[in-house]
Chain A
């Protein structure tokens, strides 16, 4: 193998490499796919069943994932640089969309838009409360104007009591 001279490799460091992580990601997707499709009928090459192509692709992805992992572990160190705390935007951006999804149907477009803006604003670092409030009002109004009055999308504006 590559480095017999340094017996103790930095396992945690290796694990943080981009290629290693990417490879592991592909492998876990493939394994999940293989697990989920374990009962799908395979069929024959002439009459392919539900599981034929998906299982084939999962095996291919598993092999590719292993290759990427191996290349990453043996190749150059490509750990990604830390840039601040990723958790803020990684948490609040998706959460704002989920808020929209939860409120759009029952509470109407205005409340859904406003809640997306407010929760989404938490993802940024330099937010002022007044600014967020104004943005929420303005954007909600713009969206009602464009999407409901302009394009006549079938979405309620206000909650239906």
Chain B
């Protein structure tokens, strides 16, 4: 059995003390940033990316992955106890989770969130192991035109699944594509948009862009908002176990959330946040008595929390098998691979089986660690919330600066980060979703390269994208997505899903 051998191989890689150690570090950091509001996984992964230079590629990826799914666990803790989402993917957990805490059922809510996440993590790890090899096979038959169309589909889905206006999201994506082209043109050697600066000849690094837009921009915006009072519900966490009745209510929601999250995670542009919102709306729709929601319905915690973890993990599938990032964190993972000289794409699985399967196995181990980190140690994490934001943001800012600086020991990149921080703040203020921009930024050079290759194959005939069946199918899918989202009915539903709060 191939799968069985592969999983054994994976566990033998992930189970080495050093990789277990990095999985633990990743999970701890992930929980930390999940608990702390004001810093998300995108900025953290971007900040810590430079440090993975010094590690084996497997260890680095294991750690970065741990941060991403660890943040989903940690985010629920603050949502339930403090009514403050540590992550955007936990926004909906606040609604019923905090109500449960107020009713003295905080322990049950936390346990359901953690166990639901663990179940979702286990299932989605299995899904990755099952579906990645066939998908990578499909990917290996792809030529330049198919890759180009696939990236178009990826970008379009990122746009469709972004908040707010679709036109704005498309514009952000094009803006990102343009930013990605800054630097030396790999084909002609010509300089583009470099303003004559030598440091820009290699292009804009994605670490300054990601840290600036997602980290620094957020800080600027947070500092303007009045500091909210945090009322921590700490009284009744003594009883961690849900009652039998609660358990019976919760488990079907966990399964539904896992299924929904697994599907939405694979879609480009999907991932944790979308999954949790969708799961909450879904639970409310199918509930016999929807009025219980908002007053401490346990399904409102179980569904979204399982979904966000499942979504976070299955979003690795397109990244690992096709080299196409579905969301901003995956885009950074692509960056991490290229830093180590690994060309992302379907060949990763066959050429570096230890990397692929080691990472998959580490996800399951990491999920197990997270249950332990979260449940018994919950008191410690809550203590961290007592650090006031006026001190916290200084620490975040400093880590951002050092993280960016250490990529190339280049002070100019820190200045760039400051500039992108201002830009990120402007985006926030103008309701421009930055995720499509980052995706465009990462994909820009790859798309241009594949476009050029496709044109060389077809001797300059753009019809090649339509004449090749797989490419045509991908483009039709992209067009359908755009048409569907433009339909008035779907549009209002989409707004509703994003504004359930």
Contacts and interface: CB of A to CB of B under 8 A. Distances in A.
Contacts of A151: 51, 54
Interface in A17-50: 18-19, 21-22, 25-26, 29, 33, 36-37, 40-41, 43-46, 48-50
Contact of B190 (A41, A45, A135): A41
A73 interface: no
Contacts of A18: 429-431
A123 B223 contact: yes
Interface in B156-190: 165, 167-168, 170-171, 174-175, 177-178, 181, 185, 187-188, 190
A95 B401 CA distance: 12
A57 interface: yes
Contact of A45 (B188, B430, B432, B455): B455
Interface of A is mostly: helix
A155 interface: yes
Interface in B213-257: 216, 219-220, 223-227
Nearest to A75: B165
B281 interface: no
A131 B223 CA distance: 17
A46 B412 contact: no
Interface string A119-161: 0110111110001000100010001000100011111000000
A104 B193 CA distance: 27
Interface string B341-374: 0000000000000000000000000000000000
A36 B200 CA distance: 15
Count class of interface residues, chain B: 35 or more
Contact of B430 (A22, A104, A135): A22
B391 A90 contact: no
Interface string B405-434: 110010110110111011001100111100
B397 interface: yes
Interface of B is mostly: helix
A112 B406 CA distance: 14
18 contacts: A40-B190, A46-B456, A50-B191, A53-B181, A57-B178, A61-B171, A64-B167, A86-B224, A90-B425, A93-B418, A97-B400, A97-B401, A105-B411, A117-B394, A121-B390, A131-B391, A151-B51, A155-B409
B220 A89 contact: yes
Contacts of B219: 89, 93
Interface residues of A, number: 72
Contacts of A90: 220, 422, 425
The residue among A41, A64, A151 with the most chain B CB atoms within 10 A of its own CB is A64
Nearest to B411: A101
Interface string A67-102: 110010000001010011010111001111110111
A96 B397 contact: yes
Interface of A: 18-19, 21-22, 25-26, 29, 33, 36-37, 40-41, 43-46, 48-51, 53-54, 57-58, 60-61, 64-65, 67-68, 71, 78, 80, 83-84, 86, 88-90, 93-98, 100-102, 104-105, 109, 112-113, 116-117, 120-121, 123-127, 131, 135, 139, 143, 147, 151-155
The residue among B174, B191, B452 with the most chain A CB atoms within 10 A of its own CB is B174
The residue among A22, A61, A143 with the most chain B CB atoms within 10 A of its own CB is A22
A14 to B, nearest CB: 15
Given A68-B171, A71-B167, A97-B421, A113 B398 contact: yes
